[in-house]
Structure 1
């Protein structure tokens, strides 16, 4: 017991000497961009599977797509390389090295290319000795790796938490964050800390601490390219709302994981559910896909600036879910613009996860609207004005199976 108390005392003294709360001024709105894992995963067998090759050519092509096809103007800016980017061993100086075949020019070259387009560059590590896929992790190398990521001019760092004990999780993320801060290089700090606490160690995460030290955090399982995965994520956030919403806001975001547009996994209606819930949650919008496979309709959704305005609203409110029927939920989100700096605009997302069309009705005045004047109603997906409504009017709409609709009410 004496030894244990001594260790705790040592850790407390160490952390008090090096740790400052996250104060990087970043992620004031949920990050938007592209991340490799969901679609490309550990795409290292480039000869046998060139369509799923995680390499320099792929990353630069995503940057070109963002720059040339309107994604950058819509707010998509981060291009993030996930696991499996490095050699299997550190070099003789103890530094991580990019895979020499797949990334022949190194990571600084990629960062420079991305930055010249006005975009931002992200990378991945793990707080364990190895990454989830068996590549070198950062344990015992936090200071060295933080300095290296800063030298490579990384703008976003995703940090996984495979293969470590619960007590270490609660120390390591704080410690690595302190070393990142000490570099002076602003990097969005994305943590998987609460996910591993809850789903691996089966404890309730301390979201108050997580929100102090991380910009973004994963709180549920990895997305996979299937509709069932999207339904599970939506259901989780519906059930976990009370635990999550109070720690969510500018600089600190719950992350439901990547958007799987461009993977052929979703119908148009399912795509509306996917992006509607993410936008209402004020979640990061990080695509994971072959950018050449994004359908015209998916691209229309991604470049819908009325939808992006809800997702990127500066207030950063996480929408509150209200059950209307079995498997039919209305998510309610107040946001800007305000009338007279007093009356919020409010968006309502009607989400039907059932296999039947649902007819729903609601009175907006019962959900936090407070202007005695009328509201102008806009259909966000159609980008059309619908009509003016008062607080006492009832809104009635049919929502098809596995579909969503979003209506925004602007105070007049």
Structure 2
């Protein structure tokens, strides 16, 4: 039987909708590289309204973010009003008086895409209406509005099987016929990397982020994590990532209170590990330093490399770690991370440190193959034919891009 997009059908037809197995898939044409965009939660929480979102769309264009590759403008929790008599979800009329369709049109007119948020439970994390029992109805509503991205959270889900819940919403989105990127926000509690590749385009690997270097910020029954704790939880996950299926290290905190050096490291690590690059700062008032970090063309190119291979930890020397990421056309990106609170001098003799990567199937013997390197952040160049030395700033990184000679 042919599967008809439910955007063309009335609600009475939804329960009778039958699709071929091929139709019950995520939209494969999306997220071939990690998605790039902005989300409201880190800076605004529940203080969201249509005026702010319109201003953020304008700022994304004016700041150069759009030109740098950011395309999704995502409204997180608290946009919801109540459901109408037929169960259709409505935008809050006090904060979104023009309605969501008008906001989508405004964002689309600027060459951007609009994302929205819901939850697999009866209520969202902030207590607004969730999508449980309304999955097909909500997906149809989003499609009629013109939504491009759905972030699907995991609050109020006691007794629900996560794979089944996310499958249901995946199928609901697919049935609308409108391509929508599906971002699974299950916090890594049930190892979504093992079952979500056919369901979503990305999945969260940890709980929420917090703007600090190595802290854990307790909220009572759960904690949010700083940059290093989130980084450390990525061990063993890189084999699950690839085009259309990304390990999501959460929305970024660049520009939200850490030092410029920490922001640069944070952004570089997310880029190297092929995480979605979703900014979380106020784009309207960000500093030039924050803008330069978020729009850095060299780091964005590493994140968006078409091979889609996540970096691996290559060398671990305590407070200094070295990550390497295979790139297209035989290249590599190498990141030197100083976790310490003081600067560290570091020397790497390439000839004594071969590299073998089972995920990409690549190996390097630097005695037999030489690479030219370029310092992505600081400028400068050299060759792997000579020993590399650098002073790594406290909480800082140096990133080299290697090209075969």
Which category describes the TM-score, using the shorter chain as reference length? 0.7 to 0.9
Q: Tell me which of 383, 386, 400 is aligned to 1:388.
A: 383
> What's the counterpart of residue 33 of structure 2?
29
Give CA deviations for 1:359-394 in whole Å, capped at 9, x if unaligned.
222234512435845322111112x2422333xx32
Find 2:238's aligned residue among 241, 245, 255. Answer: 245
In 1, distance between residues paired with 2:327 and 2:22? 37
* Structure 2: gaps (5+ residues): 1-17, 217-224, 356-362
- Residues 92-132 of structure 1: CA distance to partner in whole angstroms, max 9, x if unpaired? 12111111111111111111111111111100000111101
Matching of residue 219 in structure 1 with residue 215 in structure 2: no
What TM-score do you get using the length of structure 2 for normalisation? Answer: 0.86
> Equivalent residues in 2 for 1:87-106 (5 A)?
87=81, 89-106=82-99
Q: How far 1:23 sits from its partner (Å)?
A: 3.7
- Distance (whole Å) between structure 2 residues aligned to residue 320 and residue 166 of structure 1: 36
- More helix as a share of residues: 1
1:177-231, Cα deviation, whole Å (9 max, x unpaired) = 001001110000001235242xxxxxxx252311121101111011123334597
Distance 1:118 1:267 in 2: 32
Change (3 A) 1:251 1:362: same
Q: How does 1:10-409 map to 2 (within 5 A)?
A: 20-43=24-47, 54-87=48-81, 89-165=82-158, 167-193=160-186, 195-197=188-190, 205-228=191-214, 232-242=226-236, 244-263=237-256, 265-336=257-328, 338=329, 344-364=330-350, 366-367=354-355, 368-369=363-364, 372-382=368-378, 384-390=379-385, 393-409=386-402
- Contact in 2 for aligned 1:331/1:350 (Cα 8 Å): yes
Runs of at least 5 residues in structure 1 that lack an aligned partner in the other structure? 1-13, 44-53, 198-204, 339-343
- Aligned Cα root-mean-square deviation (Å): 2.1
Residue 356 of structure 1 deviates from its aligned partner by 1.9
Alpha-carbon deviations, 1:152-183, whole Å to 9, x = none?
11111000011113543221100110010011
1:59 to partner: Cα distance: 0.6
Aligned partners of 1:39, 1:164: CA distance in 2, in Å?
Answer: 26
Change in CA separation of 1:411 and 1:17 when aligned onto 2, cut-off 3 Å = closer
Tell me the TM-score normalized by structure 1: 0.85
